[in-house]
Amino acid sequence: MHSLKKIIVASATALTMTGMGVGIAQAQPSRYYDHGFERGYDRGYDQHRVDRLSTGYVDGLDWKIQNAARQGRISWREAQELRQDLNRVKPLAYRYQTGQARQWEVDRLQRTVDRINDEVRG
């Protein structure tokens, strides 16, 4: 019975340490934040513009492209080209969101998102 108590105590300790480790890891700022996430404001970007680099927003652009083609605002050929461009920068959106993107990658992602938004608006 004594060994069972040791196992329970060891398991509880491991769970506690793991929980603390997760909390500490989540409290760590991302690399992009370290360099100044607010830098977007310094460069003239507003909060809406910064959020447009997230993976969720970039994934939603695919729907916007398809919708614009269905409504005739762009041709299906243009839609195909925009989707190819979008698929090229999707990994950059993930890198941006996780704080791993270099500044040139963020700039490329921003230019692509802006261009796609402009084209699907008509």
92 vs 87: CA distance, rounded Å: 10
Does the structure show a pLDDT above 90 at 114? yes
- Segment 5-49, tens digit of pLDDT: 666 666 666 555 555 544 444 444 444 444 444 444 444 444 555
Average pLDDT across the chain, whole number: 76
Spell out the domain ranges in the chain: 1-33, 35-121
> Which 8-state DSSP code applies to residue 1?
-
pTM score over 0.75: no
Burial of 66 per CB tally in 10 Å (0-12, 13-18, 19+): middle
Structure tokens belonging to residue 108: 């490329």
Where do we find the tokens 């992009």?
Answer: 32
Task: Supply the pLDDT for residue 52.
Answer: 84
